[in-house]
Chains A and B, each alone.
Chain A
Amino acid sequence: MTKVSITVNGTAQAADLDPRTLLVDFLRDHLRLTGTHVGCDTSQCGACTVHLDGRAVKACTLLAAQVDGKAVTTIEGIAKDGVLHPMQAAFREHHGLQCGFCTPGMVMTAIAMAKDSAGEPLTEAKIREELEGNLCRCTGYQNIVRAIAAGAAAMKAG
């Protein structure tokens, strides 16, 4: 067993885990934070995307033990006081989802890309490029790209 302490959505969490425990399983099975989805389990789809110290990572491709001492943010941790994060609000407003399975990963990737590109304009081409690690089987991406552009603008406006 391996002892880990990870700050998840601002709360310190400590556990004694089988070292094989993936970060996504720690989040879903141990903490019951089931908003982070497992789409492929083969590092392709990005449905499991969370933030590790602010950067987008695939939680199915990291051991929980690897992130010991670090801070993880999941889809459950971005709304404040019951108010949707601007990126979540933009996905709703622009119909950036159909079945919703990919959406938590899309939103987490989108927030990271909006923060990363604080300097340069987030063009449509740039958004599509930054979405390479996130697959959606439903929407055809058009509205996801629109939602991200709007969400990033809303984040900038503060």
Chain B
Amino acid sequence: MYPFDYHRPASVKDAATQANDDALFLAGGQTLIPTLKQRLRQAATLIDLGAIPELRGIVLNGKTLTIGAMTSHAEVAASPDVRNAIPALADLAGKIGDPQVRNCGTLGGSIANNDPAADYPAALVALGATVHTNTRSLKAEDFFTGMFETALGVGELVVKVDFPLAKRAAFAKFRNPASRYAIAAVFVAETDAGVRVAVIGAGPGVFRVPEMESALAKTFSAAALSGIAVSADGLNEDMHATADYRAHLIGVMAARAVASLT
């Protein structure tokens, strides 16, 4: 690690004030600390968000589930409110990495990092979630802008995420057994806004599959998906899987998610 100054503000306001273009927010550290160690990233200042109470917590209010940015994956997976309101979200959080990673890693850190294989972006896009930062509110699809990229500006931090409740939703993940990250994973959700199918792991970032969405809107069954081929164009190709294989997996995972709901 290159040297840095360390700050631990007690409020969102102080965190934002301390930020600048040579500072990084530190959440659970499960991505940031390994990348600092490898000197893939560096910053003059780390701003630890761990002592800010307003970034924590899970609140169920009518048709919206709100989760604070610093809420850990383990807290989401174990929360009775999440398990009742959106069981697929608890399921997703409980499949991230391993228990130690889930005890530290946070919702805010995961979406701010926007790793192409991060799981949460699939849930945010499929459920039509809204990301609240300290300065504005963004639809999930506008928040995730590209590989490891988001709409967040300098001094802007994720405060919380609002998830509309789903009539039904499921997450199916094909994991790389060594890294525990997805090779391809699909989140299928039916909300008041309709059916959405969001994919992570397979492409440079989270994306939807409109053909599957319209087929499921007509008939919500795994059979309705048969015959829909996802193009391998632009999908990731690496030592773990070819683009063709990932395209195939999207169909299989989508069908599994839907089958688990019917």
Residues of chain A whose beta carbon lies under 8 Å from any beta carbon of chain B = 2, 18-20, 22, 41-43, 46, 49, 52, 55-58, 61-63, 65-66, 68, 109, 112-113, 130, 132-134
- A20-B1, A55-B74 known; A63+B99 contact, CB < 8 A: no
- A43-B34, A57-B104, A132-B180 known; A65+B99 contact, CB < 8 A: no
| Complex interface: chain B residues within 8 A of A46 (CB) | 98, 100
A87 CB to nearest chain B CB (Å)? 15
Q: How many Å lie between the Cα of A66 and that of B52 in the bound state? A: 12
Chain A interface secondary structure, helix, strand, loop or mixed? mixed
- A19-B46, A43-B30, A132-B180 known; A61+B104 contact, CB < 8 A: yes
A33 CB to nearest chain B CB (Å)? 18
| Complex interface: chain B residues within 8 A of A66 (CB) | 26, 29, 48, 50
Q: How many Å lie between the Cα of A132 and that of B181 in the bound state? A: 12
The stretch that binds A, out of B4-12, B119-127, B138-146, B190-198, is B4-12
Which residues of B from 61 to 116 have beta carbons under 8 Å from A? 74, 97-101, 103-104
- A61-B29, A133-B97 known; A55+B103 contact, CB < 8 A: yes
Chain A residue at minimum C-beta to C-beta distance from B103: A55
Please determine whether B100 and A58 come into contact, CB atoms closer than 8 angstroms: yes
Judged by a CB distance under 8 angstroms, whether B3 is at the interface is yes
Among B5, B6, B46, find the residue whose CB has the most chain A CB atoms closer than 10 A. B6
Which residues of B from 1 to 36 have beta carbons under 8 Å from A? 1, 3-6, 8, 26, 29-30, 33-34
- A57-B104, A63-B29, A66-B29 known; A20+B3 contact, CB < 8 A: yes
Please determine whether A19 and B99 come into contact, CB atoms closer than 8 angstroms: no
15 contacts between A and B (CB under 8 A): A19-B3, A19-B5, A19-B6, A19-B46, A22-B33, A46-B100, A57-B103, A58-B100, A58-B101, A61-B29, A63-B33, A63-B48, A65-B48, A132-B97, A133-B101
Q: How many Å lie between the Cα of A55 and that of B46 in the bound state? A: 24
B152 CB to nearest chain A CB (Å)? 21
Please determine whether A57 and B100 come into contact, CB atoms closer than 8 angstroms: yes
| Complex interface: chain A residues within 8 A of B34 (CB) | 42-43, 61
Q: How many Å lie between the Cα of A113 and that of B74 in the bound state? A: 12
Chain A residue at minimum C-beta to C-beta distance from B72: A55
Judged by a CB distance under 8 angstroms, whether B167 is at the interface is no
Chain A residue at minimum C-beta to C-beta distance from B178: A44
A51 CB to nearest chain B CB (Å)? 10
Chain B residue at minimum C-beta to C-beta distance from A54: B103
| Complex interface: chain A residues within 8 A of B103 (CB) | 52, 55-57
Please determine whether B104 and A62 come into contact, CB atoms closer than 8 angstroms: yes
Please determine whether B6 and A56 come into contact, CB atoms closer than 8 angstroms: no
B18 CB to nearest chain A CB (Å)? 14
Please determine whether A56 and B30 come into contact, CB atoms closer than 8 angstroms: no
B15 CB to nearest chain A CB (Å)? 15
- A56-B99, A132-B180 known; A65+B104 contact, CB < 8 A: no
Please determine whether A41 and B37 come into contact, CB atoms closer than 8 angstroms: yes
